[in-house]
Amino acid sequence: MGDQITSCANSPTWRYDLEMGEVSKNYIKGYSSLAAFIASDSYNSTAIYRRFTRLSARNLLHLQSDLMELEARQDVLDEEDLQGSTLEKLFALSSGFAVRRSLMCSGEAIFFESAALALKQPSPRTLDAFRNVFNNVQLAKDPYPILGGHGARVLNDAGELVSLCHHLDEDRLTGFIRHYLAFFFVKRKEGQLAYLSERRLHATVAFIDVALAAVLLFGAVCNLYYVTSEEKRLGLIAGYTATFAGCVGLMTNARKSEVFAACAAYSAVLVVFVSGNLGRQNRGSPATGMT
């Protein structure tokens, strides 16, 4: 059982759980509760917003047209300035100030639009969870959006949504574990929402990478050490190199050139080990002593 304390209509609701000994805060449905949900994830994966691509493109077109008009007027004033009076020179100077202001506005708009276009879309799982909270799917029999008016349709077009926090250099193995094995890394749960521990996830991926690299290298060396047939050794080198290439290509974000370079280095190590006959001299011939 718990005890609930409320203040005013616009204030959050504080709830004290006597059994758990924890204090939780409940917000009024609307901007307050949605903002609290977005800020609840310490890894900011819930920072999902609409990009407004059409409005941004229209804004850039308006700025572009304004600059075209200013450029044409500036060219006319420059021609008049060659033989004009002092008043015409002042008009040309004031037009230059307007051009600079418009150029600054256009440059800022282009820069911010470029940054917005570089943002990635949220992952399907995160977007589904965000939509469930936004539409009160778990809390109401008849789901309804938190925001009213036109804001209720802000999540309808998934292609317009961007995530302000994207995982830098997330390899395919991390994405696979995050999508299919997320239940192993749950940090806390709130209803049907689960928050993952990114630290544990990355530590697990790092351990798998190191273990797999050690197995592919030392396992191949041990296998080649006990095989004496040259034909079998050649087949083993080809098989281990293909396995190594598949692991690098499927589990990392390595580019094609990096995959070729890594495979060349890996096969070179195996070839050097085989051609050097390391450890086989003592096993193949008896030791001889000096007389």
3-state secondary structure 107-138: HHHHHHHHHHHHCCCCCHHHHHHHHHHHCCCC
Mean pLDDT of 253-281: 81
Mean pLDDT, the chain, rounded, equals: 79
Query: What tens digit of pLDDT does each residue of 204-256 get?
Result: 988 998 999 899 989 898 888 888 888 888 899 999 999 999 998 888 888 88
Sign of CA dihedral 247, 252, 122, 138: positive
Where would I find the beta strands (DSSP E) of 62-172?
161-163
Phi and psi (nearest 5°) for 85?
-90, -175
Where would I find the beta strands (DSSP E) of the chain?
2-5, 13-17, 22-26, 48-50, 161-163, 186-190, 193-196
Mean pLDDT of 267-288: 66
Query: What tens digit of pLDDT does each residue of 113-157 get?
Result: 999 888 888 888 888 888 888 888 876 577 888 888 888 899 999
Residue 286's pLDDT is what? 47
Residue 287's pLDDT is what? 44
Query: What tens digit of pLDDT does each residue of 147-199 get?
Result: 888 888 999 998 899 998 866 567 888 888 888 888 888 887 776 677 778 88
| Alpha carbon distance 279, 270 (integer Å) | 14
pTM of the model: 0.62
